[in-house]
Amino acid sequence: MCEKRLEGKVSIVTGSASGIGRSIAEKFAAEGAKVVISDVNVEGARRTASEIASGAGVETMAVNLNVADSAECDAVVKSVIEKFGKIDILVNNAGITKDGLIIRMTDEDWLKVIDINLKGVFNMTRACARDMLRKKSGRVINIASVVGLMGNAGQANYSASKGGVIALTKTCAREFASRGVLVNAIAPGFIKTAMTAALSDEMKTKLAQQIPLGRLGEPEDVASAAAFLASEDSSYITGHVISVNGGMYM
Amino acid sequence: MSQDIEAKVKEIIVERLGVDPTEVVPAASFVNDLGADSLDTVELVMAFEEEFGLEIPDDAAGKIQTVGQAIEYIKANKKQ
């Protein structure tokens, strides 16, 4: 690789024990950043953190974090600042699905998804904002979804949470712009992860037919966009949503 | 003690707003005289809360618009 774009930066990637989050963490580490791996699966977080540390030769830290709990978020951010001295990049990636048609969706399934996917983004952004605003630099990258833009039958809770993340991204971008803190979102389409592995082969084939590029995305496709948004290459971009979806929604 | 509060408040304002200490007089308005924007005023209130162990409710915070008002509020509400 040529020049490392994130040398010396400190990043937190939520929900990064596996899937898209892990891929983003790996990419950031390869670009020279220190990475904090947070997940509710703390064993997985520890494994990912140690593999990335030995693979990329950067400092990593694994933390047990449920982003829906604001006190936990504040405590994690404090411990990261104690260890690494600052936070440059926050990737709000942690998210879950609890799919079902609206007429069958329980209050619990609605709230659980909103709490993690939307309130979690608010919690972590608020927790990191003071440090970023104070030093007048920082990047927040929120992982939204194509369904937050186009809707999807069976995903009332998930699509609403992701649509909310997009609106929150724009508000944060406006509030933080005067301090040089840039906030953007990535809206992935169908990416090959555990979340989409649950779909049947037939469903996947059908989906691929609706994607102009003719295939499901790889986690690395999202990670490349995240690295761009975290780097100096994107210093005049804020409040935007980059779609990484093979053209399935334009 | 109240001299300490005054000095500390001024110090926080100078640090946060990057203004000259001589400008930080009681009548100075954060927004009109010291160039603070809305985010600065919120950050100042949070810095006062942290420094003096206070919780300043939003309606009270909205009334703190000058250096003197900040000092008065903190003197009146700081736990002895």
ipTM confidence: 0.77
Question: With contact defined as beta carbons under 8 Å apart, do A113 and A97 qualify?
Answer: yes
pLDDT tens profile A186-199 = 999 999 998 888 88
Chain position carrying tokens 């799919």: A99
Spot the catalytic one: A6, A34, A128, A158.
A158
pLDDT band (50, 70, 90) for residue B37: very high
The average pLDDT across B54-69 equals: 94
Do the chains contact at A178 and B43, CB–CB below 8 Å? no
- Residue A236 is a catalytic residue: no
Residue B55 φ/ψ, nearest 5 degrees: -120, 115
Partnered with residue A63 across adjacent β-strands are A38
More confident residue, B66 or B78: B66
Q: If 0-12 CB within 10 Å is exposed, 13-18 middle and 19+ buried, where does residue A236 land? A: exposed
**Whole-number Å distance between alpha carbons of A92 and A32:** 20
Does A135 contact chain B (CB < 8 Å)?
Answer: no
Q: What are the helix (H) ranges across A31-116?
A: 42-56, 70-84, 107-114
B33, two tokens:
């005289």
Burial B24-61 (b: 16+ CB within 10 A, else e): beeebebeeebebeeebbebbbebbeeebebebeeeeb
* Closest alpha carbon to A153 in A84, A99, A219, A88: A99
Interface test with B, best of A133, A171, A181 (most B CBs within 10 A): A133
Q: How far is A63 from chain B (nearest CA, A)?
A: 26
Closest residue, chain A, to B43 (C-alpha): A130
pLDDT for res A48: 98
- In tens digits, chain A (250 residues) has pLDDT values of 468 999 999 999 999 999 999 999 999 999 999 999 999 999 999 999 999 999 999 999 999 999 999 999 999 999 999 999 999 999 999 999 999 999 999 999 999 999 999 999 999 999 999 999 989 999 999 999 999 999 999 999 999 999 999 999 999 999 999 999 999 999 999 999 988 888 888 888 888 899 999 999 999 999 999 999 999 999 999 999 999 999 999 9
Element spanning A62, H or E: strand A60-64
Does A130 contact chain B (CB < 8 Å)?
Answer: yes
* Closest alpha carbon to A193 in A87, A94, A51, A83: A94
Residues A10-244: name the CATH superfamily. NAD(P)-binding Rossmann-like Domain (3.40.50.720)
Does A74 contact chain B (CB < 8 Å)?
Answer: no
Question: With contact defined as beta carbons under 8 Å apart, do A84 and A135 qualify?
Answer: no
Task: Please report residues of A whose CB lies closer than 8 A to that of B39.
Answer: 133, 175, 178-179
Give the residue extent of every domain in chain A: 10-244
pLDDT band (50, 70, 90) for residue B80: low
Does A237 contact chain B (CB < 8 Å)?
Answer: no
pLDDT band (50, 70, 90) for residue B1: low
Question: With contact defined as beta carbons under 8 Å apart, do B48 and B40 qualify?
Answer: no
Report how many Cβ contacts below 8 Å link chain A to chain B. Answer: 9
Burial A187-208 (b: 16+ CB within 10 A, else e): bbbbbbbebbeeeeeeebeebe
Composition of chain A by helix, strand, coil, percent to 5 = 50, 15, 30
> pTM of this prediction?
0.92
In sequence order, which residues have a C-beta less than 8 Å from that of residue A191 and are 6 or more positions away? A20, A216, A217, A218, A219, A221, A222, A244
